[in-house]
Amino acid sequence: MSRALVLETFGALPRLVERPIPEPRPGHTLVRLSAAAVTHLDLNVVDGRFGILPDLPAVPGTAGAGTVLASDTHPEGSLVQLRGKALGLRRDGCWAEHALVPDAAVEAVPAGTDPALACSYFSPVGTAWAAVHPVAAVLPGERVLVTGAAGAVGALTVQLAARAGAEVVGVVGRPAKLAHVPPPAKAVSAAELSPEAVGGPIDVLIDTVGGPVLRDALRLVRPRGRAALVGYTAGREFTVDLADFLLADVSLRTVNLMSRAAEVAGDVRRLLAELTAGELTLPIERYALDDLAEAVERLRTGEAVGRVTLDLG
């Protein structure tokens, strides 16, 4: 038998159940999961508030890592990460001790990698890379403002923008998070956002927070500057005066990791080695399978620092 978190009703938390280990079948890989990520995307699915949703009952979890038990394609006993192919969206995902997934959703990771890191890194690193490079095209010497700068995506965006040669200012909502903005960024509280606080005009805004924070931060970008929108934890909507928006002349671009995953995958894999070596940092919070409610609460309230993961043994 195998334990799994099963979502029975959108808007309620999944229930921990015992069920048979899935039977191997061609084209699929059976994995004993060691860790699974708990992300805002997963919470949107649990809430029934995403454009792609599973038929219920279903196991959520869009990313995981574990050991191959049976597969025609992947070596048994190898450490792998699971993501993509609609895992946790249209088909059962990774919030379970065992998962049977399409072979194409399985990717090898170097032996010895921390499974919590293996299941956590791709989305924030890929999103941060896409935001800094293909989308916002940050140049050396530019001044970059990152909101949610102590969050998983935000903290990596700060580090990658600084590596691209930018001068980075990181914005946080909770004063307690000021200390979690990675160096060398200057850390600023969202309540004090002003041209003076951020040290003058901004060339590029990378916003991971949305809502009113996006509205306020956009005002700090210079004419002909760029803004890249990544997330909407602080609100799915904001209103804009179109006359003022045209006058400000800031181009608003979107970051969509799903559409850019293949484009950034090579760079993201390369950066995993740097995360393992501690040259890039991504804090990880770890929770037991029966502590899902606490993990979800930490993420929903914005109190979590870095990635939230389930330890699956």
Ligand X SMILES: NC(=O)c1ccc[n+]([C@@H]2O[C@H](COP(=O)([O-])OP(=O)(O)OC[C@H]3O[C@@H](n4cnc5c(N)ncnc54)[C@H](OP(=O)(O)O)[C@@H]3O)[C@@H](O)[C@H]2O)c1
Give the interface with ligand X as residue ranges (CB under 6 A): 39-41, 123-124, 127, 148, 150-154, 172-174, 177, 208-209, 230-234, 255-257, 299, 302, 304
Least separation in angstroms between residue 196's CB and ligand X is: 20
d(CA 204, CA 144): 5
| Min dist. Cβ of residue 59 to ligand X (A) | 20
Q: How far is the CB of 265 from ligand X (least distance, A)?
A: 14
* Least distance CB 85 / ligand X (angstroms): 16
142 contacts 206 by C-beta, under 8 angstroms: no
Write out the two tokens for 68: 């191959």
Residue among 42 and 92 whose Cβ is closer to ligand X = 42
Smallest gap from residue 70 Cβ to ligand X (A)? 31
Least Å from the CB of residue 267 to ligand X = 15
14/170 with CB nearer ligand X: 170
Minimum CB distance to ligand X, residue 205 (Å): 14
Number of other CB atoms surrounding residue 129 within 10 Å: 25
Nearer of residues 15 and 236 to ligand X, judged by Cβ: 236
Residue type, 109: V
Helix (H) or strand (E) holding 270: helix 257-276
Burial of 111 (0-12, 13-18, 19+ CB in 10 A): exposed
Is 268 or 304 the residue whose CB approaches ligand X more closely? 304
Long-range contacts of 160-164 (CB under 8 A, 24+ apart): 160/128, 160/129, 160/132, 160/133, 161/132, 161/204, 161/206, 164/132, 164/133, 164/138, 164/139, 164/140
Residue closer to ligand X (CB basis): 163 or 174? 174
Choose between 4 and 130: whose C-beta lies nearer to ligand X. 130
CB closer to ligand X out of 68 and 296: 296
Give which of 80, 85, 52, 48 is closest to 67, Cα–Cα: 80
**Which residue number, 103 or 216, has a Cβ lying nearer to ligand X?**
216
Tokens of 237: 């909507």
Kindly state the smallest distance separating residue 299's Cβ from ligand X, in Å.
Answer: 6
Alpha carbon distance 112, 52 (integer Å)? 34
CB of 221 to ligand X, least distance (A): 19
- DSSP E strands: which ranges in 25-78? 28-38, 63-70
Closer to ligand X by Cβ: residue 73 or 259: 259
Q: What phi and psi values does residue 177 have, to the nearest 5 degrees?
A: -85, -10
User: Could you tell me which of 112, 187, 109, 97 has the C-alpha nearest to residue 147?
Assistant: 187
Three-class SS state of 308: strand
- Record the tokens describing residue 46, joined without a space: 């649990």
